[in-house]
C-alpha cells in the first residue's frame, strides 16, 4: 500500500487539482459574462479539445446558452485567451432532489475508529496545511461523537 504522502505528491493528483482550479476560474469568468437571466444556472463541466462543455439544470437555460454562444465564446476568449476555446457544448443535468430527501435530515457521522485513523494520518503528514485540515476533521468528529453520546445518555 502506498504511503499517503506518495499519493498526494503524485503528478495525476496535481494535474487534477490544477484542472479543478482552472474550472473554478473559468466559472468565475463565465458568471461575470453570462446574461442576467441565466447567471447562477450555468457552470463549466469540462474543457477538452478546445470545446468548453457547460451544464445547466434544465433545457430552458441550455437554450439560452446556445442562443448566446457566439457572444459567450468571444467574451471567454477575450477574458482567458490562453484557453483557445473554439466551441461551446451545453448539457442538461437536472438537480436530483426528492421530496423525501429535502424533508428528512440524514444523520451522518464519522465513527470513533475512523476519527482516530484520520488523526493518525494527519500526524504523519509533512504538508502543514493539509495536516491541519485533517486534524480539524478528526477533532471535529471526536467532539461530535462525544456530544452525540451525551445526548443519548439522558
Rounded alpha-carbon distances, angstroms, from residue 17 to 12, 13, 126, 133, 148? 9, 6, 19, 16, 35
Q: Is 52 helix (H, G, I), strand (E, B) or coil?
A: strand
Predicted pLDDT at 9:
57
Q: Does domain 9-96 have CATH number 3.30.1490.20?
A: no
Rounded alpha-carbon distances, angstroms, from residue 98 to 32, 57, 102, 104, 130? 31, 15, 6, 10, 35
Predicted pLDDT at 99:
56
The pLDDT confidence band at residue 16, using thresholds 50, 70 and 90, is confident
Predicted pLDDT at 149:
78
pLDDT digits (tens, 9 = 90+) for 35-53: 998 998 999 988 899 999 9
Q: What pTM does this model have?
A: 0.55
Rounded-to-integer distance, Cα 122 and Cα 101, Å? 33
Who wins on pLDDT, 9 or 30?
30
What is the torsional sign of CA 124, 129, 135, 137?
negative
Residue 154 has pLDDT above 90, yes or no: no
Predicted pLDDT at 15:
78
Q: Is 15 helix (H, G, I), strand (E, B) or coil?
A: helix
pLDDT digits (tens, 9 = 90+) for 76-95: 999 999 888 999 999 999 87
Amino acid at each position: 500500500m502506498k504511503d499517503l504522502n506518495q499519493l498526494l505528491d503524485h503528478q495525476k493528483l496535481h494535474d487534477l487539482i490544477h484542472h479543478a482550479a482552472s474550472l473554478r476560474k473559468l466559472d468565475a469568468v463565465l458568471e461575470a459574462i453570462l446574461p442576467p437571466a441565466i447567471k447562477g444556472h450555468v457552470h463549466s463541466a469540462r474543457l477538452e479539445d478546445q470545446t468548453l462543455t457547460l451544464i445547466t439544470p434544465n433545457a430552458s437555460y441550455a437554450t439560452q446558452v446556445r442562443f448566446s454562444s457566439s457572444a459567450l465564446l468571444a467574451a471567454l476568449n477575450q477574458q482567458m485567451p490562453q484557453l483557445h476555446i473554439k466551441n461551446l457544448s451545453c448539457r442538461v443535468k437536472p438537480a436530483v432532489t426528492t421530496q423525501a430527501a429535502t424533508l428528512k435530515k440524514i444523520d451522518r457521522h464519522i465513527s470513533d475508529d475512523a476519527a482516530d485513523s484520520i488523526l493518525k494520518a494527519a500526524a504523519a503528514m509533512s504538508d502543514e496545511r493539509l495536516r491541519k485540515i485533517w486534524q480539524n476533521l478528526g477533532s471535529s468528529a471526536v467532539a461530535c461523537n462525544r456530544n452525540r453520546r451525551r445526548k443519548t445518555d439522558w
